[in-house]
Structure formats: structure tokens, C-alpha cells
Amino acid sequence: MSFELPSPSTTFEVALYDGAKIKIRRHGNPAGPRILLAHGNGFATNAYYPYWRHLLANYDLIVFDFRNHGENTPVEPSNHHYEQLSRDLERVIQAVRSELGEKRTAGIFHSMSARTAMKHAIEIGWRWDALVLFDPPDVPPQGHPMYATMKIFEDKLTEWAHSRRRRFAAVDELMAEYLASRATRNWIPGVHALMARSVLRKSPDGDGYVLVCAPENEAAIYAQALTLDLWPRANQFGGPVKLIGADPNMKGGPATGPANQALGQEGGYDYCFVEGTGHLLQIEKPEECVRLTLEFFTKCKFG
């Protein structure tokens, strides 16, 4: 199977506070309610197409990548940290409103972007009619039963990212790495190639391809997870929030599964998990993830 993305109906760039830019792409039904959707650390929103293609008929879908990811040009200094990402999200929200008008809006975010959306909503302001968070890798306070497990998880990811290969002669080389990895083996057919295309750009020196998100930037986000102190209760948000996690019972699954189960139960969230999925659940079982998303939208009368 091969995935070909539709052409966006509208594109525009959002200038950020430090001179970086984020490319906004509009898809779907412009008459429908608006959704803003973004990706996890080191990934890119285009690769989540197997999930978001199911939203195109009924929603005004705004997809974008955070700084130093996806379709954006990496910048120096990178300012690649959660405080800046939260400010970037606010800038994107306001720019979309200015460019496309006011409208009922939901956010759908995964992993790094989900954690950014949580920090943004609590510290900057609630901007949503509904917010869907897919498997945010939040680390509980020290002393919590899940703290040590999440610390090991984030430390291992930090070490892995620092040693990650950044240059490839061809896109197919990264696709082969994804196909060979245990962590990505459950992605549906065709996504390994789509992800490889989405996270690489032609090397500025003309020699092959390089990761859009440099390994040191990816590693910095993993490492910062341990310093965020982000374990909020659902009632700290200004509106309806859905927390959808990886399978907490899956043998060999990521630590984020049981961590989100603990957060959901302790924090009073509208929480569920997708059975048999790891951290990239939207591209492992996209139809089930869409079903849960739409059920939540119906529940909170968004649509």
C-alpha cells in the first residue's frame, strides 16, 4: 500500500517570535468545524494521514508541524524546548484565526504536541471547544509509582536520539530502518515509507537526505520531559479533554501506556486506551483512533 497526500486547499506561513516559520496546510471541508492537528517528537504530521484522512469529509482540517519538523525549515538557534513550543502553538492558533476567521475549533495532538497542548492550555490559556490528547508521555512527580519507569523510558529515548543516524543516501534507507525496528513494526502497511518521506529533507549540501528534526533537538525534548512537572488534573483545563493512551497491558509496550492509565484515573480524565497499540497508535490502528475521536466529539457536542 502507498499513501499519497491530497493537495491542501490553502497554505500560508506563520512567523514565530524568533524568526522561525511554520507552514500551515488546510485540508478537508471548509464549511465544517475546525480541527488543528500535529505530531510527536521527531515525526511529522503528514505521516499521520492514515488517521486524519477520515476527518476530511466533515471537518475543516488544519495540519502543521512544530518548529524544526516536517515541512518547516530548521532554524538556528533552534529554541527547541517546551516553553517555546507552547508559545509557537499560541501563535499558530491566533494566526489561523486571523487568516481563516473565527470558528469552533478542536485540537488533536500526539505525544510531544499533546504535552505542548497541555502546557499551553494550563499556562497560556484554553483555546479549544474540544481537545484530544494521544498518549502524551507525561512524567509523574518523583515518588509516584510510575516515576522510575518513565524516567528510564525517557533516558533511553534521549540516549537513542543522540546516537541516531541523521544522513541518508536515499529515503528508502530510512524506510528500511523503520521496517526493521521492533518499535515501529505495528505501523500499518505503507506508513513506513510515508513517515520516511515526511521526516527527511534534501541535504543543504546536495548530498542525499537529512532528518528535518536534528537528533540533538529530538534528544532535548526527551530529556526535558523529566523537568516539566506536568501531571495535571482534567479540571485544570478550561473545557472537555479526551485522553487516549497506548495499551497499558501490552507485553513489551511503551511506559506511556500505564503512565497515561494512571494519569487518566488519578486526574479524572475522560480516558481510554486502544488495545494492542504502542505509542504511535494513530498509525497502528487509525480507524479505531478515529472512532474514539468522533465519539468524544459527539459527547461534547463538537461537530
- What percent of the chain clears pLDDT 90, i.e. is strictly above it? 97
Averaged pLDDT, 74-98 = 97
Averaged pLDDT, 251-262 = 97
Q: In what order do the strands lie in the sheet with 10-15?
A: 10-15, 21-28, 60-64, 34-38, 105-110, 130-134, 241-245, 270-273
∠ CA 140-47-240, nearest 5°, is 45
What is the pLDDT of the chain when averaged over all its residues?
97
Report how far residue 276's alpha carbon sits from residue 281's, in angstroms, rounded to the nearest whole number: 9
CB 24 within 8 A of CB 12: yes
Cβ count within 10 A of residue 296? 21
Cell of 255: 511506559
pLDDT of residue 281: 98
Averaged pLDDT, 105-115 = 98
Cell of 265: 484515573
pLDDT of residue 45: 98
Averaged pLDDT, 104-127 = 98
Q: Is the pLDDT of residue 1 over 90?
A: no
pLDDT of residue 303: 80
Q: Which domains does the chain have, with CATH numbers?
A: 10-299 (3.40.50.1820)
Element (H, E) at 22: strand 21-28
pLDDT digits 0-9 by tens, 160-188: 999 999 999 999 999 999 999 988 989 99
Q: How far is CA 215 from CA 114, 137, 186, 196, 204, in A?
A: 20, 19, 23, 15, 16
Averaged pLDDT, 146-157 = 98
Cell of 148: 522510575
Residue type, 287: E
Averaged pLDDT, 94-105 = 98
Q: Is the pLDDT of residue 2 over 80?
A: yes
Identify the band that residue 211 occupies on the pLDDT scale cut at 50, 70 and 90.
very high
Element (H, E) at 202: strand 200-202
DSSP string, 63-132: EE--TTSTTSPP-SS---SHHHHHHHHHHHHHHHHHHH----EEEEEETHHHHHHHHHHHHT----SEEE
At 280 the three-state DSSP class reads: coil
Helix 171-180 crosses helix 191-199 at what angle (to 10 degrees)?
130
Residue type, 193: A
Averaged pLDDT, 98-108 = 98
At 275 the three-state DSSP class reads: coil
At 156 the three-state DSSP class reads: helix
